[in-house]
Amino acid sequence: MRRKLTIILLVEALALFLLSVYRPYRENFFTTLMAFPLEQLGLGLRKISLSGTIGNFISIIIYCATCLSPGVYLAFRLYRPRAHVEDGLLAVLSLILFWVIYMMINPADIAQHFGSFDLIDINKAFLGIVVYSIAAGYLILRMIRALKDIKTSSILKYLKILLSIICIALVYGIVGSGLMDLSSAFQQLSAGNTGAEQNLGLSYAFLVLQYLVSVLPLALEIIILYAGLELIDAFKRDPYGQDVVTSSQKITRICRWTVAAIMLSQISVNILQLILGSSVHSTHYTLSIPLLSIVFVLITMLLAGYFEQARQLKKDSEMFI
């Protein structure tokens, strides 16, 4: 699974990098991940609708079919019957999709509803967040119900899927939103220092350094999650094996390195900015305590001790028998 996940992450990173670099495409068709693919669907339906009477009819069919799909799935679960309380979110999702996609088809309505034409891209993201929050809430509630009477092997399978999804989200933070923010910072620096572009080399370099410091925790978290996938595989093979102990100890070491790397990178950039002073036009001092990584260190240390103790107890039990 780790090999497949690596391929997925590399493809995602490449696609996000191209979207970040190729600005004309991004500005005209792709504004933010949170609005994808609702924004693109709205643009496509609008184009089809404006092509003529037949096109308008086809766009209405696609629009209704898309928005009704969660409701149709709800009807299917009611018919089986397999529906539970959380399935009511499917009806809510259908209603919200009718409104959100209609707004995406008619961007002027977005500006009118939120009262701002300048922030229309951000408002598209807000619409997408509403849809994704409902969908995510439904899936999480379904997962919690499914895990109620599930076996350990299935729990490990779900855990691997969850860790993989987190890795995908972290790659977006590094290559997607991270590079887009860096590109925007470059533009702001250039716009704020018109006529002095030749003196901005150091400032651009610090923007890159600040970007690297900000995404370093995300990159290190991916390494931790990969080690977690390795631990799950070892646990599935033999819960009392040496591989489980070795993998848990490996995660502990990685978490320790993560905390050290995050703190030292922040300290280094902050000191450099302080020394250079006005030579840098893009100063950004950072103080971020990696509490999550510290918690991971404590948890993995506890688990490593537990796995070692369990393995020793099993060996003692086998010797006694």
Q: What is the pLDDT of residue 93?
A: 96
Q: Where are the domains of the chain?
A: 31-149
DSSP state of 281: S
Q: 236-287: per-residue pLDDT in tens?
A: 887 777 787 788 888 888 888 888 888 888 888 888 878 877 666 666 666 6
Q: Is pLDDT of 196 > 60?
A: no
Which range is most confident: 7-16, 51-60, 278-287?
51-60
Mean pLDDT score of the chain, rounded to an integer? Answer: 81
Q: Is pLDDT of 25 > 60?
A: no
Q: Is pLDDT of 27 > 60?
A: no
Q: Contact 67/101 with Cβ under 8 angstroms?
A: yes
291 vs 126, more confident: 126
> What are the C-alpha distances in Å from 284 to residues 174, 266, 274, 318?
18, 10, 10, 59
Q: Is pLDDT of 228 > 70?
A: yes
DSSP annotation string for 109-165: HHHHHHT-STTHHHHHHHHHHHHHHHHHHHHHHHHHHHTTT--HHHHHHHHHHHHHH
- Residues 217-243 have a mean pLDDT of 84
17 vs 292, more confident: 17
- Residues 122-127 have a mean pLDDT of 88
Q: 76-105: per-residue pLDDT in tens?
A: 999 888 888 999 999 999 999 999 999 999
Q: Is pLDDT of 206 > 90?
A: no
Q: How far apart are CA 7 and CA 12, in angstroms?
A: 9
Structure pTM?
Answer: 0.74
Q: Is pLDDT of 294 > 80?
A: no
- Residues 49-73 have a mean pLDDT of 93
Q: Contact 127/79 with Cβ under 8 angstroms?
A: no
Q: Is pLDDT of 149 > 70?
A: no
Q: What is the pLDDT of residue 318?
A: 63
Q: How far apart are CA 172 and CA 12, in angstroms?
A: 8
